Amino acid sequence: MNSRRTRIYEGKAKILYEGPEPGTIIVHFKDDATAFNAQKKAVIEGKGVLNQRISEFIFTRLNELGIPTHFLRSLNMREQLVREVEIVPLEVVVRNVAAGSLAKRLGIDEGTQLPRSIIEFYYKNDQLGDPMVSEEHITAFNWASPQEIDDMMHMAIRINDFMSGLFLGIGIKLVDFKIEFGRLYENDMMRIVLADEISPDSCRLWDIKTQDKLDKDRFRRDMGGLVEAYQEVARRLGIIAEGEKPERSKPKLVKTDLN
Ligand SMILES: Nc1ncnc2c1ncn2[C@@H]1O[C@H](COP(=O)(O)OP(=O)(O)OP(=O)(O)O)[C@@H](O)[C@H]1O
Ligand SMILES: [Mg+2]
């Protein structure tokens, strides 16, 4: 099945294949984990399936709320059909609590609640290490128009409001997350939609009671237990049943998401 498809792009965590119809692509979630601009690498069995299923869940809820996304449907445990978009070359980060690079750069203790949610933009360029940029840079270099920046910021705030509540309800604090947007061309129209993925690879999620990290920081910081943490997130979201282990070798599970 995989061998007959045309591969469009292989990234660090996902592979893109041509979709069945023009304007669609298939996103395949790999088990590969990378951090620190791919200086650190590992294969973590089961991660791709969990990310696909968690991302599917969140994108479906966002679509229901009227937030436009690229997501069409899951094809199987590891793959989803999405609309092909022209990716805006920015990573949009929303922060609620100080962590990671913000804590480091500004000397704020990790875990400090921020006075309000903060949106940051990073220029998507691995060679440059995804540098932080301002709206001035974005418009001067034509990476996005002022209207598109406005649209992305409004959507980012709505996504943050929804996800903060979603996770709070299952005992998890949404510390921060990264999203990507794309331009969707339909008839003579173009609009900005949410693209890529939302998963524990792209969020910081802390257990409210124990402060345990349930995200990719477990890999960045060599803490171990990454799959178990992602499973816990999926379990609390109701995506996987109690005790269920989404392994490749379990045929019963491989079938559940096929449609
Ligand atoms: N709907 C879409 N249409 C086209 N490209 C997409 C879409 N959704 C996501 N992408 C792009 O597909 C790639 C996904 O692969 P992956 O996340 O592994 O990339 P990556 O190694 O992280 O590289 P990048 O720095 O570009 O994100 C990303 O480049 C992402 O921007
Ligand atoms: Mg990526």
Q: Are residues 71 and 98 in the same domain?
A: no
Q: What is the CATH number of the domain that holds 64?
A: 3.30.200.20
CB 214 within 8 A of CB 229: yes
**Residues 160-194 pLDDT 10s:** 999 999 999 999 999 999 999 999 999 899 999 99
pTM comes to: 0.93
Contact criterion met (CB below 8 Å) for 14 and 30: yes
CA 11 / ligand 1 centre spacing (Å) = 6
Confidence of residue 258 (pLDDT cuts 50, 70, 90): very low
More confident residue, 251 or 215: 215
Q: Which residue has the higher pLDDT, 130 or 243?
A: 130
Q: What is the CATH number of the domain that holds 93?
A: 3.30.470.20
Structure tokens at 231: 């499973």
pLDDT confidence bin for 244, thresholds 50/70/90: confident
Q: Give the pocket of ligand 1 (CB within 6 Å).
A: 9, 11-14, 16, 25, 70, 82-85, 87, 124, 126, 180, 182, 195-196
Whether residues 11 and 49 share a domain: the answer is yes
Q: Please give the sequence-ordered ranges of beta strands (E in DSSP) within the chain, or none if there are none.
A: 7-10, 14-18, 24-29, 32-35, 40-43, 71-74, 79-83, 86-87, 90-97, 113-123, 132-133, 172-186, 189-195, 203-207
150 falls within a domain: yes
10-19, long-range: CB < 8 A, 24+ apart? 12/38, 13/48, 13/51, 13/201, 14/197, 19/81, 19/82, 19/84
What is the number of structural domains in the chain? 2
Shared domain check, 197 and 90: yes
The answer to the question of residue 2 being in a domain is no
Query: Of 66, 62, 238, 60, which is closest to residue 162 (Cα–Cα)?
Result: 62
Same-domain check for residues 127 and 160:
yes
Query: Which one of 179, 196, 199 would you pick to mutate in the ligand 1 pocket, going by the greatest count of ligand atoms within 8 A of its CB?
Result: 196
Q: CB within 8 A of 43, min separation 6: which ones?
A: 31, 32, 33
Nearest ligand atom owner, CA of 195: 1
